[in-house]
């Protein structure tokens, strides 16, 4: 058995969603399995080289894993949200998608210069959203040295682009 095959078995794959030819990785089946969800978060924590100051979760499923990881590590959680979802003063970045552009934002005072932040999402595919998150956080002065994902789709190259 390969490392994490037990968790991989808990993730449902849905063909042709949201478009023909896409194999959608549905983490809701992993979340329904309490021991599996706990193991996924514990394994994320174990892979980190040290304790960060903050965890940054990318909307929306990154909030789930980010909150759980932040609690496991005993640190705060920064929310990276879609445009116009946060009240107050925000900073944001536009980024390209396969089918257009999008924007993520965070509160302007969420990160202090020099803080070590781990970026978290449920899945890394092409890495576009994660790279935008890194750029946004670094623009606020954060030190981003690691990222954690429940699922990596290595054939799409996102984790490699992040490295």
d(CA 125, CA 159): 8
Is 98 part of the annotated catalytic residue set? Answer: yes
Quick check: 148 and 54 in contact, CB under 8 A?
A: no
How many CB atoms sit inside 10 A of residue 93's CB?
A: 18
Is 72 part of the annotated catalytic residue set? Answer: no
Question: Which one from 61, 72, 135, 146 is the annotated catalytic residue?
Answer: 61
d(CA 85, CA 88): 10
Question: Which one from 43, 59, 98, 135 is the annotated catalytic residue?
Answer: 98
Residues with catalytic function: 61, 98
């Amino acid at each position: 058995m390969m490392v994490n095959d037990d968790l991989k078995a808990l993730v449902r794959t849905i063909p042709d969603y949201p478009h023909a030819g896409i194999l959608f990785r549905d983490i809701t089946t992993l979340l329904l399995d309490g021991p599996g969800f706990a193991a996924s978060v514990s394994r994320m924590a174990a892979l980190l080289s040290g304790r960060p100051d903050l965890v940054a979760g990318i909307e929306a499923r990154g909030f789930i894993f980010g909150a759980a990881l932040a609690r496991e590590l005993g640190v705060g959680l920064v929310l990276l949200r879609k445009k116009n979802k946060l009240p107050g003063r925000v900073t944001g970045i536009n980024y390209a998608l396969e089918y257009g552009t999008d924007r993520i934002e965070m509160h302007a005072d969420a990160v202090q210069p020099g803080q070590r932040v781990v970026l978290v999402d449920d899945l890394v595919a092409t890495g576009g959203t994660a790279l935008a998150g890194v750029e946004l956080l670094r623009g606020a002065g954060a030190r981003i040295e690691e990222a954690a994902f429940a699922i990596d789709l290595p054939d799409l190259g996102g984790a490699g682009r992040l490295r």
